[in-house]
């Protein structure tokens, strides 16, 4: 990613001055980048605050908001990485996976993380269940023996086995009907004692009975269970609830509305298997970031309209909700803040190659004619996000339709902040607000 001057001319001059003043620091920062990449940015943010501020450059102010300096430093580091223009989906996916290895920090310790399969719109999908500490392990009550590998390695790396791999452990049935918990591999902490059906009793030992069904971001084209593993771990650990991350099918191989239908099917599967998952079926929420927030919003709408079990809550982190219209924030933050205008167009064209589908609420939930009767919503927007204005507009539309709404603006942050848990300060505060809310709503 490369910086270009914002359309705000004052901000542009400040940014230009920052780049000129700090050009001599780039060499030193670039020299440390290899070590930073190897250790997920931890050494960079271990530097004294004054040094980090100097490396970040002069403050950037646009539209009345000042970019968080620690986030500004991360963007500066991103500038020093080789620029990669999106050409094809496999290359973009590999690049995104590499970037995500830079940012997660030390993974949160959980009782168990299990790879499994869930029902999609046309067969099985990979998924990953995160269980916070304090819960008993699965037992033979599901018709198979589940094992726990104990503590992870000192490096914090997770096993690479996934659904259907040679290292997977059978947990229930993996039939196409979606019965049981599919096949999965377990890894986690603190092997429990005792034996009972399901994944243990919630609501005890500091663990709630709620579940967040989570859909990762990535423009419906990139991203997977691993790119958002650290975020899902952190939500489970800090909110004290289970998280089920779903590996929905990606475009362009599976264009819209495939991802949306997969998301609806996976959510309804989770409700049907609430007892197996150890959760209360009335406390199952749906959520996601960016494109995943889009899918969560679609699930909330479509389950209500189709008469299906609907979520207890929808969690929309800087969601993409309109694939048709442009708003001023798309111009204000078109370059230089993680998600660019070119990225937005590239993702949109891959997900919806048929432009006539774009006004449909199945891909643009803000365009639904009826927004009444939806679940309570927790929606966040970021001040330096090109999608900011459509998120603000959707929040107002939900409120006007009489839906319970908690809108949390983060004026100093940019698109994608939820994944940047290594960055201290405002991002950690945003994460804490989210997980406190989830703990109160879903415990």
Catalytic residues: 290, 385, 415
With contact defined as beta carbons under 8 Å apart, do 319 and 296 qualify? yes
DSSP string of 246-270? Answer: EE---TTTS-TTHHHHHHHHHHHHH
DSSP category for residue 45: H
Strand partners, 287: 214, 315
Q: How many helices (H) and strands (E) are present in the chain, helices listed first? A: 14, 13
Q: Can you tell me the distance from the alpha carbon of 246 to that of 358, in angstroms, rounded to the nearest whole number?
A: 23
Full DSSP string of 92-116: HHHHHHHHHTTS--SPPP-SEEEEE
Nearest to 309 by CA among 287, 282, 341: 282
CB atoms within 10 A of CB 346: 18
Could you tell me if 118 and 246 are in contact, meaning their C-beta atoms sit under 8 angstroms apart?
A: yes
Tokens 């909330």 belong to residue: 300
On whether the CB atoms of residues 391 and 381 are closer than 8 A, the answer is yes
Q: HSE, CB side, 13 Å, CA atoms: give it for residue 185.
A: 13
What gap in Å lies between CA 357 and CA 163, rounded to an integer?
32
CA-CA distances (angstroms) from residue 271 to 89, 180, 214, 243, 312? 32, 12, 14, 13, 11
How distant, in Å, are the alpha carbons of 2, 185, 204, 365 from that of 113? 37, 8, 19, 32
Helix/strand/coil for 69 = helix
Does residue 180 sit in helix, strand or coil? coil
- Omega cis (within 30) before 204: no
């Amino acid at each position: 990613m490369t910086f270009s001057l914002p359309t705000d001319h004052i901000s542009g001059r400040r940014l230009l001055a920052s780049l000129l003043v700090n050009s001599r620091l780039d060499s030193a920062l670039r020299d440390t980048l290899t070590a930073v990449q190897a250790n997920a940015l931890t050494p960079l943010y271990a530097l004294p605050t004054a040094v980090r501020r100097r490396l970040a450059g002069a403050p950037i102010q646009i539209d009345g908001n000042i970019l968080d300096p620690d986030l500004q430093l991360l963007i500066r580091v991103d500038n020093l990485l080789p620029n990669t223009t999106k050409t094809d989906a496999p290359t973009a996916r590999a690049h995104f996976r590499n970037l995500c290895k830079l940012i997660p920090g030390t993974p949160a310790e959980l009782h168990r993380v299990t790879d499994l399969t869930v029902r999609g719109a046309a067969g099985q999908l990979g998924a990953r269940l995160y269980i916070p500490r304090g819960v008993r392990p699965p037992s033979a009550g599901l018709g198979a023996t589940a094992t726990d590998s104990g503590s992870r390695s000192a490096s914090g790396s997770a096993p690479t086995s996934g659904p259907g791999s040679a290292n997977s452990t059978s947990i229930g049935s993996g039939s196409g009907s979606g019965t049981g918990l599919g096949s999965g591999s377990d890894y986690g902490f603190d092997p429990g004692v005792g034996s009972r059906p399901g994944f243990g009793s919630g609501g005890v030992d500091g663990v709630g009975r709620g579940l967040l069904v989570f859909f990762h971001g990535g423009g419906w084209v990139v991203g997977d269970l691993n790119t958002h593993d650290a975020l899902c771990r952190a939500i489970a650990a800090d909110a004290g609830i289970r998280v089920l991350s779903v590996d929905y099918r990606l475009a362009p191989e599976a264009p819209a509305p495939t991802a949306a239908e997969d998301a609806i099917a996976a959510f309804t599967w989770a409700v049907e298997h609430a007892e197996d998952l150890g959760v209360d079926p009335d406390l199952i929420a749906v959520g996601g970031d960016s494109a995943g927030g889009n899918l969560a919003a679609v699930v909330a709408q479509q389950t209500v309209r189709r008469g299906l079990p609907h979520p207890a809550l929808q969690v929309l982190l800087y969601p993409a909700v309109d694939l048709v219209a442009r708003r001023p924030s798309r111009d204000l933050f078109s370059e230089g803040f993680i998600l660019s205008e070119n990225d937005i167009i590239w993702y949109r064209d891959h997900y919806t190659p048929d432009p006539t589908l774009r006004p449909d609420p199945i891909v643009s939930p803000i365009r639904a004619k009826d927004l009444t009767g939806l679940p309570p919503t927790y929606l966040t927007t970021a001040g330096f996000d090109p999608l900011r204005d459509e998120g603000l507009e959707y929040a107002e539309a939900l409120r006007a339709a009489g839906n319970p709404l908690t809108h949390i603006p983060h004026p100093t942050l940019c698109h994608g902040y939820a994944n940047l848990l290594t960055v201290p300060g405002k991002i950690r505060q945003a994460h804490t607000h989210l997980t406190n809310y989830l703990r109160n709503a879903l415990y």
